[in-house]
Amino acid sequence: MADPYGSLSPCPVRTTAPRQSCASTPDPAPGPTPGPDPVTERRARIARLVKIGQRTGYAFLLVAMITFVVGIATDFPAWTVDLTVASLVVAIVVLPVPIVLGYGVRAAEREERGGGRFH
């Protein structure tokens, strides 16, 4: 059966349904396509670094907790005390920055979506 809308029509052939208007989609504007948004790229890069920083900080916190429990079970040998304190110091130094930046990234994404503010 021949195409009732013409051979170059973007509309499909309808044999049983009543004829409906079929608007063609406009061609994209000529010229260079816009590149990726540098703000979005930077936010994604910061989000990746935040994720790495949080995993690192929480891993050191976990090491501190585990060595503390091992120290309790073994009457606190010197190495458990040293490792617990060192792990806590690393976690305290590393964790605040990714936590704050993580809140910033989430707030920026929420603001971009039009979600508003916390308060």
For the chain, list residues with pLDDT below 50.
none
Q: Does 90 reside within a domain?
A: yes
* Total count of domains within the chain: 1
Following DSSP, what letter does each residue of 35-89 receive, concatenated?
---HHHHHHHHHHHHHHHHHHHHHHHHHHHHHHHHHHHHTT--HHHHHHHHHHHH
Enclosing domain of residue 96: 38-112
Determine the pLDDT at residue 18: 58
Q: Does 78 reside within a domain?
A: yes
Contact 76, 68 (CB under 8 A): no
Determine the pLDDT at residue 114: 83
Determine the pLDDT at residue 32: 66
Q: Give the amino acid at 36.
A: P
Contact 75, 81 (CB under 8 A): no
Determine the pLDDT at residue 75: 94
Determine the pLDDT at residue 105: 94
Q: Does 11 reside within a domain?
A: no
Contact 116, 110 (CB under 8 A): yes
